[in-house]
Amino acid sequence: MQAVQWVAPRQFRVVEMEKPVPKPHEALVRVESVGVCGSDVHYYLEGRIGNQILTEPTILGHEYAGVVEAVGAETDPALVGRRVAVEPGVSCGRCEWCRTGHYNVCPEIRFPGGPGCDGALRDYIAVPARNCHPVPDGLGAAVAAMLEPLAVAIHTVELAQVRPGETAAIIGLGSIGLLTAQVLKHSGVHVLYGADLLAYRVAAAARYGVDVAIDAARKDTVARIRELTGGRGVDIAIDCSNRGEPLAQVCRIARPAGRCVLTGISGNETDALAVSDARRKELTLRWCRRFRHNYPTAIALAASGKVDVLSLITHSFSPANTGEAFELVAANADNVIKASIDW
């Protein structure tokens, strides 16, 4: 089979490799679609996310879906022929955190597309069958791949502990931010503010549930939200950006005794946090680590149309044009929200 392998910053190569054979507990998935995630772009540009450093050629990609072509001896053969969204992280299943349901923070988790673990930018991948979530007929491969970022959005909203009628703000209106916006509105948020540095994302935000969108390149986000809320701030402030600055901003726009969820990945080892604001206002800060047990809800929301996933996929590329896709996303060019690699 063929795979697209990262070899150095801004460099991919197509390589031939052996098609995997599924182990007894695994399924062999013929990959149909892989989404380009912001964390993928950090690896593409810099070869690292904080102290997670790529030291050898690596296949990127963790948002993916495909069709099960074969299964191992201990796996239900009914899975063969089904399109599945694949939950990417493979946790150990034995540690304290796995046994208590927090498998997303398993110290031994193997996450594809990062150091020491090849991802999905290849024709076939063998994965534990338990990570394969069959999707309903009619749910396309690119949408099924987007269930991974939708699961992140759902977990973000879970951590926010939304109460009907509350106000919220999202900094960063990329695909994660716009998915989070939709889930927040379905969860009962009454007024939702959003901010982004890119004007085209600000313009798109209203279609995904954002009531007031702020062009952060032209207006001070913190000052504007304080003005719009009469100085009170919002009940829930969420960072869905790829920069370090919003970690401080969410603390400043949250009301006293408010809640902040930090979902974005800046790629830095350390970022500044508005400790004085957080302390004086006795804020609750929650970091979002991917997701846990959220794929069934993501499938239900996408399949029912309650969350619009399809329109967020603005660009599609062939595997041979993976480099072009990553450059587009890295440059935020051509009004891109989500780019996918499709077989």
Tens-digit pLDDT profile for residues 292-335:
999 999 999 999 999 999 999 999 999 999 999 999 999 999 99
Superfamily of domain 150-287: NAD(P)-binding Rossmann-like Domain (3.40.50.720)
Neighbours of 214 (CB within 10 A): 24
Contacts 24+ apart (CB under 8 A), 291-297: 291/104, 291/151, 291/152, 291/154, 291/155, 292/101, 292/102, 292/103, 292/104, 292/155, 293/101, 294/151, 294/152, 294/154, 294/155, 294/158, 295/85, 295/87, 295/133, 295/147, 295/151, 296/133, 297/151, 297/154
Model pLDDT, residue 253: 98
Closest by Cα among 149, 142, 208, 147 to 173: 208
One fold for 2-146+309-342 and 150-287: no
The runs of H, that is alpha helices, within the chain are 38-46, 96-99, 141-145, 147-160, 175-186, 199-204, 221-228, 246-253, 275-280, 295-304, 322-331
User: How far apart (Å, rounded) are the C-alpha atoms in residues 50 and 217?
Assistant: 26
The answer for residues whose C-beta is within 8 angstroms of residue 91's C-beta and 6 or more apart is: 98, 103, 104, 106, 108, 109
Model pLDDT, residue 254: 98
Q: Are 177 and 152 in contact (CB under 8 A)?
A: no
Fold of 2-146+309-342: Quinone Oxidoreductase; Chain A, domain 1 (3.90.180)
What Rg, from alpha-carbon coordinates, does the chain have? 20
- Domains in the chain: boundaries: 2-146+309-342, 150-287
Helix (H) / strand (E) containing 261: strand 254-262
Q: Is the dihedral of CA 33, 35, 41, 47 positive or negative?
A: negative
Helix/strand/coil for 58: strand
pTM, two decimals, is 0.96
CA distance to 171, 221, 222, per residue, from 280 (Å): 22, 20, 17
Model pLDDT, residue 68: 98
Burial class (CB in 10 A: 0-12, 13-18, 19+), 12: buried
Model pLDDT, residue 270: 92
pLDDT less than 70: residues of the chain? none
Q: Are 306 and 186 in contact (CB under 8 A)?
A: yes
How, if at all, do strands 83-86 and 234-239 pair?
unpaired
Burial class (CB in 10 A: 0-12, 13-18, 19+), 109: buried
Identify the DSSP state of 178.
H
* Region label for 43, one of left (φ > 0), alpha (ψ between -120 and 50) or beta (otherwise): alpha
